[in-house]
């Protein structure tokens, strides 16, 4: 018996340290309801621990008996046979539905795209490889170049910078003289041609045409 007691006290101090196992906890709860000596010890331990932590040690009243009595009084805890049945059936129903969910869940085939924000998010530009995001300079007709630090004067500060719908984003790699208009014409041309190709080969119906911006669509008509 003293052996048993010793073990209980060890469990109790483990509980005080927050290291008690589930089994120890259950045993303590069971014993503490019957063993007033243990209950007193528990209370003492708590007061000591509270004192050490600097809390006011006010827990001198034992509520446990009153709480236990109050729980017994509650109608919800007086179990009838039907309640036992309903309780078990309910548990089983939950288990069965979990199984069904598991079955359907597997059927659904999870994909990595499920875990992300989803497709309802607004579409954006992938930023992963955009390392050179220097000051943006506006080209006419909706170009929005992202030019790296080496090149700063590629034609900004004209009235075209008031364009607010960036359509083409340009990142310049090499500093060099070139004609802005020529570049624009070239980009529009190749993008229009690409869209035409893509419309025939991507199997996405008319989607590629939507990618064309205004000037490109005009160029394509010519």
Partner 1 sequence: MVLSRLFASIKVAALVAAFLLHGPLFAAPMESAHDLMSKMAKASRELNYQGLFTYEFRGNLTSVKVAHGVDDGQTYERIQHMDGVQRDVLRRTDNVDCLRTGDMLLRGSAYKINDQSYARLEDFYEFHIKGQGRIANRQVVMVHVLPKDKHRYGYVVAIDKQSGLLLQSVLMSHSGKPLERFQFVDITIGMPFVELGFDLDTSDFAIAALDQSNCIDDNRQITTSVSNWSAQWLPPGFVIASHQIADSNGQESIMFTDGLAVFSVFIDSDPGRSLPAIDANLGATVAVLTKADINNQEYAICVVGEIPRATANQIASAISLSPTSPSSISPLP
Query: In this structure, is the dihedral angle defined by the CA atoms of residues 14, 18, 19 and 24, taken in order, positive or negative?
Result: positive
Site residues for partner 1, 22-61, by CB under 8 A, read: none
**CB neighbours (10 Å) of residue 146?**
18
Q: Which of 85, 87, 90, 133 binds partner 1 (CB under 8 A)?
A: 85
Least Å distance, CB 76 to partner 1, is: 21
Q: Least distance to partner 1 from the beta carbon of 159, Å?
A: 19
Using DSSP, state whether 44 is helix, strand or coil.
helix
CA of 36: how far to CAs of 3, 17, 24, 68, in Å?
Answer: 18, 22, 18, 14
- The residue among 60 and 108 lying less far from partner 1, judged by its C-beta, is 108
Select the span of 12-20, 41-49, 56-64, 213-221 touching partner 1 (CB under 8 A).
213-221
143 membership: H or E segment, kind and range = strand 143-145
CA dist 178 and 190 (Å) reads 18
Name the residue nearer to partner 1 (CB basis): 109 or 149: 109
Q: Does 122 bind partner 1 (CB under 8 A)?
A: yes
By C-beta, is 16 or 187 nearer to partner 1? 187
How many residues of this chain bind partner 1 (CB under 8 A)?
73
Between residue 158 and residue 197, which ones bind partner 1 under the rule CB under 8 A?
165-174, 176-179, 182-183, 186-187, 190-191, 193-194, 196-197
Q: Is 77 near partner 1 (CB under 8 A)?
A: no
Identity of the residue, 159 or 221, whose beta carbon is nearer to partner 1 in the bound complex = 221
Asked if residue 152 lies in contact with residue 135, where contact means CB atoms within 8 angstroms, the answer is yes
- In terms of Cβ atoms closer than 10 Å to its own Cβ (0-12, 13-18, 19+), residue 34 is exposed
């Amino acid at each position: 018996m003293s052996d048993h007691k010793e073990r209980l006290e060890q469990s109790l101090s483990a509980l005080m340290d927050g290291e008690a196992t589930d089994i120890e906890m259950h045993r303590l709860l069971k014993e503490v309801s019957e063993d007033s000596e243990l209950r007193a010890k528990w209370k003492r331990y708590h007061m000591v621990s509270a004192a050490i932590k600097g809390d006011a040690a006010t827990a001198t009243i034992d509520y446990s008996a009153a709480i236990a009595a109050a729980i017994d009084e509650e109608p919800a805890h007086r179990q009838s046979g039907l309640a036992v049945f309903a309780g078990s059936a309910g548990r089983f129903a939950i288990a069965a539905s979990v199984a069904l969910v598991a079955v359907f869940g597997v059927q659904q085939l999870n994909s990595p795209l499920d875990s992300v924000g989803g497709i309802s998010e607004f579409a954006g530009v992938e930023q992963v490889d955009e390392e050179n995001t220097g000051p943006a300079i506006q080209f006419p007709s909706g170009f929005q170049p992202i030019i790296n630090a080496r090149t700063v004067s590629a034609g900004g500060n004209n009235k075209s910078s008031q364009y607010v719908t960036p359509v083409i984003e340009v990142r310049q790699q090499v500093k060099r003289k070139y004609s802005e208009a020529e570049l624009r014409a070239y980009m529009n041309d190749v993008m229009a041609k690409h869209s035409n190709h893509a419309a025939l080969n991507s199997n996405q119906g008319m989607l590629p045409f939507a990618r064309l911006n205004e000037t490109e669509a005009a160029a394509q008509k010519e």
